[in-house]
Amino acid sequence: MAAPGESHIYPLPTTQSRQTSPLTTPTAYIILGGGVAGLTTALELHSRSPTSPIILLAKHLPGDLSLSYTSPWAGANWLSVATDNGRQEAWDAVTYAKFGELADEAREAGVLRMPIRAVFDNAWEEAGVLSEGTGRVWYGGLVGGLRVVEGGELPEGARCGFECDSFVVDVTRYLPW
């Protein structure tokens, strides 16, 4: 655990390279933060530009617990809350595809295929899940279809819901990986 105010300087460990579009010019990178965002960014950069030096600066690293270090406390599931009919949905689609790769090809990463059920205490139109412009849940096609949960399957007070194929991430495995 780092002392308050102290930062680790963390050289990127060697990892297996992954499929991505290569970055052609070697460039030095400094990444701020050792949570899921910083670590995943470091891995992606390394796989796209293996000869580029990458330095990750962070107060907290995998193994640390702190109220200001979110990632070790996460669930974590893939369930997109993007409704912009634009780049946020596109980012979430990339994550879904990446989780599929990790679940199938890097079991040690802690990403598992698992269905998810989402239920809402508002009607579809007010539940905040419909994409702007299309009026649909944007990822139905991406995840292989949504199964609407209705009637007696809904918990008391819920108005609508659906199930779909998704992923769960064991952050205690993903972060050190």
* 146/171 with CB nearer ligand FAD: 171
Q: From residue 46 to residue 75, what is the string marking binding to ligand FAD with x (rule CB under 6 A)?
A: ------------xxx--------xxx-xxx
Report the candidate in 26, 28, 36 with the shortest Cα–Cα distance to residue 58.
36
The reply to whether 1 sits near ligand FAD by the rule CB under 6 A is no
Residues contacting residue 108 through CB under 8 Å, at least 6 positions apart: 173, 177
Strand stretches in the chain, DSSP E: 8-11, 29-32, 54-58, 111-120, 147-149, 160-169
Residues contacting residue 75 through CB under 8 Å, at least 6 positions apart: 168, 169
CA distance 36 to 60: 12
Assess contact for 166 and 77: CB atoms under 8 A: yes
The reply to whether 146 sits near ligand FAD by the rule CB under 6 A is no
CB of 75 to ligand FAD, least distance (A): 3
Report the candidate in 48, 44, 142 with the shortest Cα–Cα distance to residue 93.
142
CB of 12 to ligand FAD, least distance (A): 14
CB of 7 to ligand FAD, least distance (A): 5
* 4/22 with CB nearer ligand FAD: 4
CB of 25 to ligand FAD, least distance (A): 26
CB of 29 to ligand FAD, least distance (A): 16
In 78-139, which residue ranges form alpha helices assigned H by DSSP?
Answer: 87-105
CB of 61 to ligand FAD, least distance (A): 6
Q: From residue 101 to residue 130, what is the string marking binding to ligand FAD with x (rule CB under 6 A)?
A: ------------------------------
Site for ligand FAD in 11-40 (CB under 6 A): 33-38
Give, rounded to a whole angstrom, the gap between the first and last alpha carbons of the chain: 18
- Point out which residues bind ligand FAD (CB under 6 A): 7, 33-38, 58-60, 69-71, 73-77
